[in-house]
Chain A
Amino acid sequence: MRTLPRWILLPAGLGALFVVLPLVAMAARVEWGEFGALLTSESSLSALRLSLQTSLTSAAACVLLGVPLALVLARSDARGTGLLRALVLIPLVLPPVVGGIALLYAFGRQGLLGRHLEVLGLQIAFSTTAVVLAQTFVALPFLVLSLEGALRTAGTRYEQAAASLGARPSRVLTHVTLPLVLPALLSGTVLSFARALGEFGATITFAGSLQGTTRTLPLEIYLQRESDPEAAVALSFVLMLVAIAVILLAHRRRVA
């Protein structure tokens, strides 16, 4: 701090205020008297339940697909690894609506894969599965990114030592590599869960907004905003609490 000019505190304070002010403004509009009733209305409850279900499933899918991806990206020096990393990170910068359109052309009824799934009697678009796919698509890079960084930082010396002690590659993976990056795996999973929970654009494009089937919390909030602003604020407040909890969980180490 001593190396910084004092005036920097002013724009820094403005920046912090800019982030906090809207949250405070929203929290101030919560109708505490009806808070419970607003949250337990049928449509709110079904959106909450669906969001929780799909986000947890997406987080699990992110772990299943993201851990192997992160391992390959961190440890492979084959040509094409850089390209693969760029491709995997695309959903991070892609507008979610575009992601939804892309998913539609892959898994929709007329889609590249969806067309064949349709023959088998499987319909993905506008189903709960579509919600999970949309959420996984946008959340996957969060897990891959945080895990790959941790794998690179951990380096390969423990893995080499383990191999030199006679451990086969699979055992090295399960008993050395993964335990060493467990904190990053957990925070990556929490981050991808949070991203899945907040997913809106890809979901509404690819899965639509059917109550109980594809209408997740963010969609419910968006729809209630016009018809029942108090319910929208109450639900938003819940999502904000979840976000704060996620930040505390994922960054606990850094703060401590």
Chain B
Amino acid sequence: MSLVLRAAVAEREVELDLEVADGETLALVGPNGAGKSTALSLIAGTLRPSSGSVSLDGRVLADARTWVPPHDRRITTLSPDPVLFPHLGVLGNVMFPLRAQGVPRRDARRRAEEHLAELGLSALADRRPAQLSGGQAQRVAIARALAADPRLLLLDEPMAALDIDVAPALREQLCRFLAGRTAIIVTHDVLDALALADRVAVLEQGRVVDSGASAEVLSRPRSAFAARLAGLNLVHGRWDGRRIVLEDGGSLPAASDLTPDTAALAAFRPSAVRLVEPGQGLPRTVRSLTPHGDLVRVRTEDLAADLSLQDAAARHLAPGTEVHLAVDAVDVTTYLA
């Protein structure tokens, strides 16, 4: 393991257990206040753990006795805001980490120019940060982070501050640069998690509640947050051999090779949900209706359904309407809770 974080911050009620393998990219996802920033601060060295330890490549960075300052950790953070030094030009910014590591000026200049060229930024080398667009500035920040050649790259929502139309190009470049690098990316975007990360760890209330390969976590979510991120309905219940029986007594048809009478999770897409007549399906109350492409997303207490406009209109759906929801067994993914 390259990074091992087993540490707690008592006053924030955070207790984390994370590992990142060499060359792997881990996505940290979770609602606001789940502890993602705390995790990054512990790793970057802007926060001391109250117990436990942080280590990188077997070297202890922080524990009860040890404290390695941020500049000595070979860990570089890329924040949502590029934080380019305003008193330096673009080239000067990219040269900064090289010069800080003692690379002679001419070498530093050559290598910085190479990093800029890699990102297609050579034309901007002489600009001042104030003369760059948001997307350009963030790409310069990436070039600068890569020039630092860190053992671990921390990406804190690197696309959050960008226009929606520059994000895809940047994601594509990040994807290329993260290949083979050890990195942690904090994101709210399911595309980032799938495209950039090998594994996903879901944080809730200061704990890791789910982790695994990105596709696995997102297709078989174990937490409400991961389900919402993946756009899936998630229900807890008990597999009785034919159906998933929910806590409220309702049930879902499903197919599964789980042993009967085990606690199970079932995930299904909102678009697989149908409205059925009273007496069948799960009774729910409509909470909200929102446009969703050419469909209408109907949210109830715990489930979402994507219905056609015609369906929604024909049934006069409005907040407060009683509905009955059903889903076919083939559309339900069932797995051990």
Interface residues of A (CB under 8 A from B): 157-158, 160-169, 171-172, 175-176, 179-180, 182
A168 — which chain B residues lie within 8 A by C-beta?
Answer: 71, 100
Q: B255-279 toward A: CB 8 Å interface, digit per residue (1/0)? A: 0000000000000000000000000
- Chain B: residues with Cβ within 8 Å of the partner, total of 25
Can you offer 22 A-B residue contacts whose CB atoms are under 8 A? A157-B81, A158-B85, A161-B83, A162-B71, A162-B96, A162-B100, A163-B71, A164-B70, A164-B148, A165-B76, A165-B97, A165-B144, A166-B72, A166-B74, A166-B101, A166-B150, A167-B97, A168-B71, A169-B69, A175-B96, A175-B100, A180-B86
Tell me which residues across on chain B come within 8 A of A158, comparing CB atoms: 83, 85
Contact A166 B100 (CB under 8 A): yes
What's the Cα separation between A179 and B81 when bound, in Å? 20
Top 4 A-B pairs ranked by shortest CB distance?
A: A167-B100, A165-B97, A161-B83, A163-B70
Q: Is the CB of B97 within 8 A of A179?
A: no
Q: Does B75 contact A (CB under 8 A)?
A: yes
Q: Could you tell me if A163 and B148 are in contact, using CB atoms closer than 8 angstroms?
A: no
In this complex, the member of A162, A166, A171, A175 whose beta carbon has the largest number of chain B beta carbons within 10 angstroms is A166
Cα of A163 to Cα of B150 in the assembled complex, Å: 12
Which residues in window 94-126 of B have CB below 8 A to A? 96-97, 99-101
Given contacts A162-B96, A165-B100, A165-B145, contact A176 B85 (CB under 8 A): yes
CB distance from A192 to the nearest CB of B (A): 23
Apart from A161-B77, A166-B74, what 5 extra A-B contacts exist at CB < 8 Å? A158-B85, A161-B79, A164-B71, A171-B100, A180-B85
* Least distance between A69 CB and chain B CB atoms (Å): 23
User: Is B44 an interface residue, CB under 8 A from the partner?
Assistant: yes
How near does chain B come to A177, taking the closest CB pair, in angstroms?
11
- Complex CA gap A158/B74 in Å reads 17
Q: Do A160 and B70 contact each other (CB < 8 Å), given the known contacts A165-B148, A166-B148? A: yes
B46 close to chain A: CB less than 8 A: yes
B315 contacts chain A at the CB level, 8 A cutoff: no
A169 vs B70: C-alpha distance when bound (angstroms): 10
Residues 72-93 of B contacting A (Cβ, < 8 Å): 72, 74-77, 79, 81, 83, 85-87
Q: Nearest B residue to A165 by beta-carbon distance?
A: B97
CA distance A30 to B46 in the complex (A): 62
By the criterion CB–CB under 8 Å, are A164 and B76 in contact? yes
Main secondary structure of the interface of A (DSSP, over half): helix
- Give Cα A162–Cα B74 distance, bound, in whole angstroms: 12
Nearest-CB residue, chain B, relative to A157: B83
User: Whose C-beta in chain B lies nearest to the C-beta of A169?
Assistant: B71
The residues in B between 116 and 150 inclusive whose CB is less than 8 angstroms from any CB of A are 144-145, 148, 150
Find chain B residues with CB under 8 A from A179 CB: 85, 87
A161 to B144, CA, bound (A): 10
Interface 1/0 per residue, B271-291 and A, CB below 8 Å: 000000000000000000000
Q: Which residue of B lies closest to A180 (CB)?
A: B87
A48 to B212, CA, bound (A): 78
CA distance A67 to B144 in the complex (A): 29
How distant is the Cα of A161 from the Cα of B86 in the complex, in angstroms?
Answer: 12
Question: Which of B44, B79, B85, B97 makes the CB contact (< 8 A) with A166?
Answer: B97
Q: Output the nearest chain A residue to B92 by Cβ-Cβ distance.
A: A175
| A185 → chain B closest CB, angstroms | 13
Of A158, A165, A172, A180, chain B has the most CB atoms within 10 Å of the CB of A165
Q: What is the bound-complex CA distance between A165 and B150, given in angstroms? A: 8
Question: Is A165 touching B87 in the complex (CB atoms < 8 A)?
Answer: no
Shortest C-beta distance, A178 to chain B (Å), equals 10
Chain A minimum-CB-distance residue to B149: A166
The verdict on A166 contacting B87 (CB below 8 Å), with A160-B46, A171-B100 known, is no
Please, which residues of chain B bring their CB within 8 A of the CB of A172?
71
Q: Cβ of B87 and Cβ of A167 under 8 Å apart?
A: no
Most buried by B among A157, A162, A164, A175: A164
A180 vs B85: C-alpha distance in the bound complex, in angstroms? 8
Q: How far is the CA of A202 from the CA of B96 in the complex (A)?
A: 46
Task: For B75, list chain A residues within 8 Å (CB).
Answer: 164
Whether B86 lies near A167 (C-beta < 8 A) is no
* In contact, B46 and A166 (Cβ under 8 angstroms): no
A239 to chain B, nearest CB (A): 35
Q: Which of B44, B86, B96, B99 has the most CB of A within 10 A?
A: B96
- B144 proximity list for chain A (CB < 8 A): 165
Contacts of A182 in B (CB 8 A): 87
Task: List, in ascending order, chain B residues with CB within 8 A of A163's CB.
Answer: 69-71
Give the distance in Å from the alpha carbon of A163 to the alpha carbon of B69 in the complex: 9
Q: How far is the CB of B231 from chain A (nearest CB, A)?
A: 34
